[in-house]
Chain A
C-alpha cells in the first residue's frame, strides 16, 4: 500500500461519511419542505377557493392603495393584497380577509374598486360596517388610511 492509495482511501471514507450525513439531512429537509402532496381533497379545495387569476393586474398609478391591513381587533396586523378584488371580509371560510372576530358576520362587507376609486359595501351584516360614526348603507368611497370598522375589527387601505 503506497502513501497515495492510503490517502485516497482516507479521503474517500470521509467523503462517504459526509455523504451519509448530507443524505440524512436531505431526507429531513424533504420531510419539512417537500411534504406538500396534492391530495384529491386539497386539489378540489384549492380550485374552489381560488378564483381564476385576473389576466395581469395593470400597473396602478402611484398613490393607489395596494393592500388592505387590519389595524385593530383579533386579527390586527393581517395584510391582504388588493390584486384580486373584490375583497370579501368576514368570519366565513370563503372570505378573502378572514376575521376571527365574534362580532363580525360570516360575510360582512366587501371592498372593491371601479378602477378610479375604492368602495366599501356592507353585505347586510348583523352589526354593521362603520366609517367613523357613520354606518355604511350603500357602497361608499374610501381613501387610503380611512379606518373602516367591522365589529371589533378596524381595517384600512395602505399604499
Chain B
C-alpha cells in the first residue's frame, strides 16, 4: 500500500480531476424515483390506489436528497458522484418496505409499529449528521491527531449499555441505552470511532507489525510481542459477545480489525493468526453459550424445531414464494416473519421483489463498497486509505453477515442492514460514514497542487569508467 509518487495525479490520465456533480444529480433523481416508486407500488399493490400522501413524502425525500446534494456541491465538490445516490436509493427502498410492513401489521392489529414515520425522522437526522460531518471534518487527516481520543470514545460507547440504569436489555442483547423516550445503540457509532482509531494506530505501527517476524511454512508470522493489539481486539470482541450477547457486533469488530491490519501490513500471516483466533473464539462460544448453540442449530437444521426457528423458516418460505421476480410490492406476506422490518428486511424485499430485486440491492451495496475501496486505492495518504478501507469493509461485512444470516449461508447474527433496516442509531451512523467516505474521496479526487516535474534533461547521468 505504498503511496504513489506525489505527482502521479498529474500524469495519470485516469486521475484528471472532474467534479461530476451533474452525473450525481441525475443519479439522485433516479434514486428518488426508486424510493418514491416503491412507495407508490406498495400503495397500489396493497390498497389498489396511489397513497394520498405521496406528494408530501416525495417532496420530503427529494428535498432531503437535494439538501445533501447541495451540501456536497458546497463542501466536497470533487467527491465521488455515485455514493450519495446509492445511499438515497437504499434508504428510500428501506423506508418503503418498512411502510409496507406497517400496513400489514396494522391490518393484523399487531401491537408493534408503525415504524415508517419514525424512520423518516431518523433519515432526516441521518442527513443532518451527514451534513454535520462534512461541515466539521474539512480534512480527514486532522482526525489522525485524535487517534486515541477516538479509541477511548469507542471503548466508552461500547461499555455504555452495560451501565445499570442506562443500558436496556432487549431480547437478550444488552446493546441499547435509553435516555428518556429515546433508545440508542451506541455500538453503531463506536464502529466509526473504532475505524478511525484502528487507522491512526496502524499507520504509526504498521512497519513494526509488518517487518518483524518469523517465516514459518512460507508465511510470515508476526512476532509474539506484536500480537498485543490483535489480542486486545480479540478480547474486546469476545467481551462484547459475552457481556452484551451481541454476536453480530463482535464479529464485525474483529473482522474489521483483522482486515485493516492485513491491509496496513500486507502480511497474510495476520490473517492466519486472526483466523485461528476467530476459530478458537467461535468454538469456545459455541461450547459455552446456549444462544450461540441455538444460532448454529437454526443454521444447520431449522426444521428440527419449527417453534424456535420460526423466524428463519418463515423467511425462507417468503423468499421461496417470491421466486425470480417476486410477488410484487404490497402483495406478499413479509410481515409473517418476526422482525421483518429490521433484521429480516432483506428477506421481506426478497419476497416482494424476488431474486431480481434482491440482486439489484446487493449490487448497490457492492457498488457502495467498491467506491469506498476505490477511494482508498486512489487516496494519497496512508491514514485516509485505511479509514476508507475500514469504512467500506464495515459495510461489506455487515451486508455479508446479514444477508448470509437470513439466507442461511452462515449462522444468523443480529446486525443492521445499512440504510435499510428500521433503527435510528444505525441510520445516523451510516449516513455519517457516507459523509466520511465522501470527504476522503473529495480530498483524493481534488486536483493535486501543481508540481512541475523535473525535466529528464536536467538530471545528471551517472558515468562509469570501464
Interface residues of A, Cβ cutoff 8 Å to B = 1, 6-7, 9-11, 13-14, 16-21, 23-25, 27-28, 30-32, 35-37, 39, 91-93, 102-106, 126-127
In the complex, whether B26 has a CB less than 8 A from a CB of chain A is yes
Q: Pick from A10, A11, A14, A37 the residue with the most CB of B within 10 Å.
A: A10
Which of the residues B16, B326, B367, B461 comes within 8 Å of A24, measured between beta carbons? B367
| Chain B interface category by residue count | 35 or more
Q: Are B18 and A35 in contact (CB under 8 A)?
A: yes
Q: Are A126 and B30 in contact (CB under 8 A)?
A: no
Main secondary structure of the interface of B (DSSP, over half): helix
Please report the number of residue pairs spanning A and B whose Cβ atoms sit closer than 8 angstroms: 119
28 A-B residue contacts at CB 8 Å? A1-B45, A6-B44, A9-B329, A10-B41, A10-B327, A13-B38, A14-B325, A16-B33, A17-B34, A18-B360, A20-B34, A24-B86, A25-B367, A28-B370, A31-B81, A32-B14, A35-B13, A35-B14, A35-B15, A37-B16, A91-B461, A93-B457, A103-B461, A104-B461, A105-B461, A127-B463, A127-B464, A127-B466
Q: Are B48 and A1 in contact (CB under 8 A)?
A: yes
Which of the residues A28, A36, A106 comes within 8 Å of B367, measured between beta carbons? A28
Q: Pick from A13, A27, A30, A106 the residue with the most CB of B within 10 Å.
A: A13
Q: Are B329 and A10 in contact (CB under 8 A)?
A: yes
CB-nearest residue of chain A to B44: A9
Q: Pick from A11, A28, A36 the residue with the most CB of B within 10 Å.
A: A28
When distances are taken between beta carbons in the complex, the residues of chain A under 8 Å from B18 are 31, 35, 37
Q: Are B41 and A39 in contact (CB under 8 A)?
A: no
When distances are taken between beta carbons in the complex, the residues of chain A under 8 Å from B81 are 27, 31
Contact pattern, B 312-339, Cβ under 8 Å of A = 1, otherwise 0: 0000000000000111110100000000
Q: Are B456 and A91 in contact (CB under 8 A)?
A: yes
Q: Are B353 and A17 in contact (CB under 8 A)?
A: yes
Measured CB to CB, the closest approach of chain A to B227, in angstroms, equals 39
Measured CB to CB, the closest approach of chain B to A19, in angstroms, equals 7
In whole angstroms, how far apart are the Cα atoms of A99 and B454 in the complex?
16
Q: Are B82 and A27 in contact (CB under 8 A)?
A: yes
Interface residues of B, Cβ cutoff 8 Å to A = 13-16, 18, 20, 23, 26-27, 30-31, 33-34, 37-38, 41, 44-45, 48, 81-82, 85-86, 89, 325-329, 331, 353-354, 356-357, 360-361, 363-364, 367, 370-371, 455-457, 459, 461-464, 466
CB-nearest residue of chain A to B18: A35
Measured CB to CB, the closest approach of chain A to B76, in angstroms, equals 16
In whole angstroms, how far apart are the Cα atoms of A93 and B459 in the complex?
11
Q: Are B13 and A36 in contact (CB under 8 A)?
A: yes
Nearest 10 A-B pairs (CB), nearest first? Answer: A10-B328, A102-B462, A1-B48, A17-B360, A36-B13, A93-B456, A20-B30, A27-B23, A21-B363, A13-B41
* A14/B360 contact (C-beta < 8 A), A28-B82, A28-B367 known: yes
Q: Are B85 and A24 in contact (CB under 8 A)?
A: yes
CB-nearest residue of chain A to B371: A28
When distances are taken between beta carbons in the complex, the residues of chain B under 8 Å from A17 are 34, 353, 356-357, 360-361
Q: Are B20 and A14 in contact (CB under 8 A)?
A: no
When distances are taken between beta carbons in the complex, the residues of chain B under 8 Å from A23 are 26-27, 30
When distances are taken between beta carbons in the complex, the residues of chain A under 8 Å from B13 are 35-36
In whole angstroms, how far apart are the Cα atoms of A55 and B370 in the complex?
45
Which of the residues A28, A31, A37, A93 comes within 8 Å of B455, measured between beta carbons? A93
* A14/B464 contact (C-beta < 8 A), A24-B82, A93-B455 known: no
